[in-house]
Structure 1
């Protein structure tokens, strides 16, 4: 690696670290991280138990939504959160979510991908049977400025 290339790599790494540290200092980010850590497992279990108690058949989809490797590191926390809120807003208006019974999500950050979300959707299994198609359609939703990629197939 030439000196010029090494300096460019170091500059990019420093920029990413600076952006990461700035995100970590934001009160919303710290609050959301601590909130998500508390009792997530138990709350998800309670949701699943309640859904199985009321519905004889569920279709469960896991969809990972992330940005491209090129864009991901440059998307800040506020932008990623805004995109999640836009997606959740579609639950009330988009026909893909007509049979949505519940959902859960988790925010993660990786150096190559930046911020990304893992979603679990619980749908009425009597109404939704084509789980892989449904997951792909959710992953391909084109809400503003996002590049949602379906990375993991759904599960029944």
Structure 2
């Protein structure tokens, strides 16, 4: 089991930020660079005027500067050092935030990838030459690309973003409907959140691989089947979401809903679920028991939930929104029409304990 600090560090690795390194040594760095384009695109759009790149005759690496924003310039140059083939290959594996996609397409249209200042004969014997027709032409095309982003985004960006989050909204609706239905059947629901991970960042290098995905899918199906068998009386429903992070590879966010009349020890159940995951993955897996850290949530939507729970709707929504959030940092391209999110209602046998509800006033 991951401790909470290690889990937090892994979580933050999925959201690249800060200054970009100027050399990309492996595919993980390439993925990090391409993920950063969402932030780059948003910052470009937020500028009061078009950003302007020029050749800096007093600087060595990189030799292109962006007035007023050095870090943003470094991120862009770092990304443009990728080859066009690398970018197209990553584009086959990921779906990007609409604004990032517009920017990447603009870079492709202007043939900007594979940037190398030595290609322009700007650096000679460690000294920067003050003028290069090739470099200045490159700057002009780069300025055209970022200017085009600002124009296109003002027309298409809003609609594209809405389309991108539509599936997340549908997932949220289905999860809330499941919970409302369960709360109409039983007066107390025990919500247990467990994140299911792999010890060796499974799939970091193989995103898009049919073989890797089938293994991840099989692990989840075997895990769910075992849970339903062990908790055949108390399990009322569940939801899972498959995500991919550059620091963690494939992983699942899950929530399980138990009959509160039969089960009260949420932390213990979370540990049991995690250990079942480890067993089903033959120790390739690890987990994070969210219920063990309820006090660290600003708004806690796990544990025992009832109609009388204070701010029930707000608490459940906090948990549900996280579980169904839009995966802007590289939504998975799954083989075929495979699911990345699912809710499930577990039918109960007649005579199951627990006081039934006649009406629902849930979230």
Q: TM-score range by the shorter chain?
A: 0.7 to 0.9
Could you tell me how far apart the structure 1 residues matched to 2:198 and 2:241 are? 15
RMSD of aligned C-alpha atoms?
3.2
Deviates further, 79-88 or 34-43: 34-43
CA-CA distance at 1:41 after TM superposition: 0.8
1:11 and 1:102 map into 2 onto residues whose CA distance is: 41
Match for 1:131 among 239, 250, 266? 266
1:106 corresponding residue in structure 2: 241
Q: 2-side partners of 1:135 and 1:58: how far apart?
A: 15
Q: CA deviation at 1:20?
A: 6.7
Q: 1:35 to 1:20 in 2, by over 3 A?
A: farther
- Where do 5+ consecutive residues of structure 1 fail to align? 1-6, 26-33
Is 1:86 paired with 2:243? no
| Residue 98 (structure 1) shift | 3.6
* 2:265 is the alignment partner of 1:149: no
1:67 to 198, 201, 220: 198
Q: Could you tell me how far 1:13 is from its partner in structure 2? A: 2.7
Query: Which of the two has higher C-alpha Rg?
Result: 2
SS in 2 for 1:119: strand
In structure 2, C-alpha distance between the alignment counterparts of 1:78 and 1:24, rounded to whole Å? 17
Q: CA deviation at 1:77?
A: 2.4
Higher relative contact order (CA 8 A, sep 6+): 1
Structure 2 alignment gaps of length 5 or more: 1-22, 33-85, 96-164, 207-211, 293-301, 304-363
Question: Does structure 1 retain, via aligned residues, the 8 Å contact 2:238–2:255?
Answer: yes
What TM-score do you get using the length of structure 1 for normalisation?
0.73
- In the TM superposition, what whole-angstrom CA distance separates every residue of 1:54-92 from its partner, at most 9, and x where no partner exists? 101110001100112454625732221121111122134
Question: Separation in 2 of the partners of 1:131 and 1:53?
Answer: 21
